[in-house]
Structure 1
Amino acid sequence: MMDQPQAKKITDPKVALAKAEHFCAYQERSQQEVRDKLYEWGLWPDAIEQIISRLIEENFLNEARFANAYTQGKFNQKAWGKIKIKQGLKLKRVPDVLIKKALLGINLDDYLEALSKLLQKKAATLTEKNELKRRYKLQQYAMGRGYEAELIAEVLKNSGL
């Protein structure tokens, strides 16, 4: 088997900055994602920190904006719950303060509606006859998607699923 060819290393910080600007302009990024990409390109730690500082100064990189975009995207596109979104942001090393602010951006009514739709969609696919097992499977599914146990129980009780 042949090994994958190594990505060409970038040694010039100006070239790296231009590429990093493009990387950030394409999609919101966390500082950690950019840092990882710069290391992948083979830059030195001091050059990486200078590039990240420039990206922040020029507003290519903004952790608060990233946290909000990530939260809204995962909630709207994938119907993730707050727990799973929070874990994802923690993996991207976003500060807790920004995570809390971003999660507050989710409308509670929309959140409950998304959970209800998620449970109804899953309930339609279940063949389980035993009511307790059926509820348990629905609860586990929603918890796996990052929803809070109390909310799941409430929605299950109120929807009669």
Structure 2
Amino acid sequence: MKSTQSFSVEEAKKKLEYYCAYQERCHQEVKQKLKNMNMIPEASDVIIVHLLEHKFLNETRFAKSFASGKFRIKKWGKRRIALELKRKEITKYNIDQALNDIDEEEYLEVFNALAEKKEASLKETDNYKKKKKLIDYLLYRGWENYLVYDKANELIF
């Protein structure tokens, strides 16, 4: 049987302050956490306002941090980052701000290095199948179509 622990508003505030201080969070994640804590909507609203006022919760900061991390660590392209931010209900303005923070020169360097590394690791002998695998991989990672197809044609004849 699942135990339903109840929290006072002050206890929930403290828990959510720690939750947001540990890692950048979006509004959707905080709302889900409050729902899992069985908080009533009125209490949830009070807590979210408190987190916003005390700068524990900031959607712009979250979007920039998310985009930067996914680009540098997971090597995602802008299309994938934008899609994942939309899934987290981040506004278009904040998504655009986050994507604009990615340096264009670094973006192309990472893309080229990723494409060349993947192409070198493909063991396929048929050039058409090899090209398809490379294209599928790069598109899944969220890189722009024109970049992917140009690079695939450059690497595989």
Name which of 46, 51, 57 aligns with 1:50: 46
Aligned residues: 156
For the 8 Å contact 1:112–1:155, the answer to whether it is kept is no
Runs (4+) off by over 4 Å: none
Please give the root-mean-square deviation of Cα atoms over the aligned residues, in Å. 1.4
Give the whole-Å Cα distance in 1 for the aligned partners of 2:142 and 2:47.
35
Name which of 64, 79, 84 aligns with 2:75: 79
- Are 1:17 and 2:5 matched, yes or no? no
- Are 1:134 and 2:107 matched, yes or no? no
Give the whole-Å Cα distance in 1 for the aligned partners of 2:23 and 2:48.
16
Query: Tell me, which stretches of 5 or more residues in structure 1 are unaligned?
Result: none
Q: Deviations over 1:89-138 (max 9, x none)?
A: 11111111100110111111111111112112211221112222211210
Give the whole-Å Cα distance in 2 for the aligned partners of 1:112 and 1:154.
12
What residue in structure 2 maps to residue 110 of structure 1?
A: 106
Q: Which amino acid aligns with 2:53?
A: E
Query: Tell me, which stretches of 5 or more residues in structure 2 are unaligned?
Result: none
Give the whole-Å Cα distance in 1 for the aligned partners of 2:44 and 2:142.
34
Name the TM-score, length of structure 1 as normaliser.
0.91
Name the TM-score, length of structure 2 as normaliser.
0.93
Of all paired residues, the percent bearing the same amino acid is: 38
